[in-house]
Amino acid sequence: MRPGSAQNLPTVTYTPASQLLSPVSLITSMLADLLASRELAWRLAVRDISAQYRQSMLGVFWAFVPPLLSGLLFIVLHQRNVVNIPDTGMPYPLFVLVGTTLWQVFAEAVSAPLRVVTGAGAILAKINFPREALILSALYQTLFGFLIKAVLLGGVLLYFGTPLRPKSLLALVTIFFLIWLGLAIGVALTPVGMLIADVSQLITLGLQLGFFLTPVVYPAPEAFPYSLLATWNPVSPYLLSSRTLLVHGTAAYLTPMVAVSVCLLGGTVLVWLLYRVSMPIIIERISA
């Protein structure tokens, strides 16, 4: 303990006023907490992942099931001509399996923040640790989920004899943005989701709907107004580009992708601020 004065100790003041009224100290503390939360985030991610796998018999099998199942369903429907899908520029099974796997990665990113933060409710209410750690942990867990699914992706690509091109590695960047977008949406929904249980239902519903509103199992429509699904749906540019990069080594929808990325950067800051300032309010309500 430093003897003597307390002048040079870090000082924090809590008042009823909104934290947004003192933006400098808010942003400074956000960045400091982000740095401070790295180890904790890692620990939490390792904890959750090992707990999940240690209590499961089938383990990673569950990471493959959802994309495989919905993929196979559409492959069968397509083969039997139940659904009429235009040319996809690649074998349809390859198109669908890559699409559903990428969608699953996105879907997990959307639901991760609320799941992780809700799971930490008890310690949130009792201990003051950097709240950013939970989001970072959600990121790590989603990335881990992607790593497992990458095995599935690799298997599918190999099976269809897709040559590995150096440019295909760029898909890692677009997939990272896909995950980032999912997390940002998830974090935006977390504050309200912590207060009212309806939000997690809405997320499930929204993801089911989103699956059909995004060109996952069908190619991007070109006729207006359906073409908006590819250009104005923020998920589409990342998902479509990731798929064509993996298979053909070429990106698609570059302009929308840049536009979405710029919005995503700004949106991330807003969502982070919201998450940050909402924490005391949520804790007050969930643990009164």
Partner 1 sequence: MSLALIEVRATGKKFCRSLKRSLWYGLRDLAGEALGRRGDRSTLRRHEFWALRNVSFDLYQGETLGLIGPNGAGKTTLLRILHGLITPDEGSVTVRGRMQALIALGAGFSPVLTGRENIYVNASILGIPRKQVDRRFEEIVTFAGIPDFIDSPVQSYSSGMTVRLGFAVAAHLEPDILLVDEVLAVGDEGFQIKCLNKIGELKANGTAIILVSHNMHTVSTFCDRVLVQSAKEHELFTNVAEGVRAYKQLVHPSMDGHIEKLCSGTPGIEFVKVDISHTELELGGDFHLRLYYRATTSYDDVEIDTVLLVARETSFHYQATNRTFDKRVDLPAGEGWLDITVHDLRALHADGRFAVAVWGRDRSEILFWWRIPVRFTTALRCTGTNLYHTTFLTHLSSSAEASGPAGEGSGGHVVSR
The answer to whether 193 and 113 have CB atoms below 8 angstroms apart is no
CB of 58 to partner 1, least distance (A): 16
What's the gap between Cα 5 and its chain centre?
Answer: 46
Contact 216, 99 (CB under 8 A): yes
Q: Which is nearer to partner 1, 7 or 84 (CB)?
A: 7
Of these, 81, 84, 128, 255, which contacts partner 1 (CB under 8 A)?
Answer: 128
Tokens representing residue 68 in the block? 């495989």
Using the rule CB under 8 A, which residue among 17, 24, 57, 82 binds partner 1? 17
Judged by CB under 8 A, does residue 54 bind partner 1? yes
43 binds partner 1 (CB under 8 A): yes
Cα radius of gyration (the chain): 21
Residue with tokens 């982070």: 272
8 A C-beta contact, residue 214 and residue 220: no
Q: Does position 21 bind partner 1 by CB under 8 A?
A: yes
Q: Which is nearer to partner 1, 123 or 209 (CB)?
A: 123
SS3 174: helix
Q: Which residue has the tokens 């800051």?
A: 269
- For residue 36, give the nearest of 105, 102, 131 by alpha carbon: 131
- Asked if 57 interacts with partner 1 (CB under 8 A), we say no
Candidate list 32, 125, 158, 262; residue touching partner 1; CB under 8 A: 125
The single residue listed with the structure tokens 């999912």 is: 182
80 binds partner 1 (CB under 8 A): no
Q: Is 224 in the site for partner 1 (CB under 8 A)?
A: no
| 241 CB-near residues (< 8 Å, 6+ apart) | 171, 174, 251, 252, 253, 254, 257
Query: How many angstroms separate the CA atoms of 244 and 106, rounded?
Result: 17
260-279 positions binding partner 1, by CB under 8 A = 274, 277-278
| Residue 50 binding partner 1, by CB under 8 A | yes
| Closer residue to partner 1, CB minimum distance, 19 or 70 | 19
Closer to partner 1 by CB, 227 or 284: give it.
Answer: 284
Q: Which two tokens stand for residue 163?
A: 């040559």
Q: Which residues of the chain form contacts with partner 1 (CB under 8 A)?
A: 1, 3-7, 9-21, 36, 39-40, 43-44, 46-48, 50-51, 54-55, 120, 122-129, 191-192, 195-196, 274, 277-278, 280-285, 288
